[in-house]
A and B are shown apart, each in its own frame.
Chain A
Amino acid sequence: DGGITQSPKYLFRKEGQNVTLSCEQNLNHDAMYWYRQDPGQGLRLIYYSQIVNDFQKGDIAEGYSVSREKKESFPLTVTSAQKNPTAFYLCAAGQGVGEQFFGPGTRLTVL
């Protein structure tokens, strides 16, 4: 999966809980991205980060938070404010105007 690891592969959350999805890359890419994938829909951007200690909201940032303390790591927290968090979450990394490399994904299910 292009040097990007995501963990865990499956995650279960009880209502009202915050959970954090891990994303690590060894590609030395500056930019990292979090997407959400739902059945029948294209990937939707949650947050992205162009450089360390900086990030921007994507189209569906509400109920999510991120941090970018290290170049290699871009964890995503799904907060209790996200009312419909069940989805497949994909992390990606990219450099300049080139392609994005994706991780294997984390499937989050709300119990």
Chain B
Amino acid sequence: GESVGLHLPTLSVQEGDNSIINCAYSNSASDYFIWYKQESGKGPQFIIDIRSNMDKRQGQRVTVLLNKTVKHLSLQIAATQPGDSAVYFCAERNGNQFYFGTGTSLTVIP
């Protein structure tokens, strides 16, 4: 099966600092990637996506970087806010299926 993993299970940052969450994926044939945010007891929410023909994509306060050479994906959150506290996980698409990482728990310290 697929293997999508995160380097760090937990991350604590000071409010206002930038956050970086990393993800490693295993299948070089995956052509589409998504970052999700999940708050406790709720369903995942889409944050940002990127296709494999790109290496960077920016949204509002978030940036996703894709390094296909080392099969690495990262999510950067600028000026992290308390409302950003949640579990973040990446997903890769290969064929008809998505494969999900285990998640990183981000805690923002006021």
Q: Is the interface of B mostly helix, strand, loop or mixed?
A: strand
Tell me, in angstroms, the Cα distance from A26 to B42 when the chains sit together. 19
Inter-chain CA distance A19–B21, complex, in Å, is 37
User: Total interface residues on A, using CB and 8 Å?
Assistant: 28
What chain A residues lie within 8 Å of B42 (beta carbons)? Answer: 1, 104-105
Is there an interface contact between B89 and A42, defined as CB atoms closer than 8 Å? yes
Which B6-59 residues have C-beta < 8 A from chain A?
31-32, 34, 36, 41-46, 49
Residue tally, chain B, CB below 8 Å to A? 24
Decide: A41 and B98 in contact? CB cutoff 8 A. Answer: no
Contact across chains for B4 and A105 when beta carbons are under 8 A apart: no
- Minimum CB–CB distance for B39 against chain A, Å: 11
User: Does A87 interact with chain B (Cβ within 8 Å)?
Assistant: no
**Of A2, A43, A97, which contacts B32 at CB under 8 A?**
A97
CA distance A105 to B38 in the complex (A): 11
Q: A59-B1, A97-B31, A105-B41 are in contact. Are A45 and B97 (CB under 8 A)?
A: yes
Contacts A42-B99, A100-B98 given; does A90 touch B44 at CB 8 Å = yes
From 1 to 57 in chain A, residues with beta carbon under 8 angstroms from any chain B beta carbon are: 1-2, 4, 6, 31, 33, 35, 40-43, 45, 48, 50, 56
Identify the B interface with A (CB < 8 A): 1, 4, 31-32, 34, 36, 41-46, 49, 89, 91, 93, 96-103
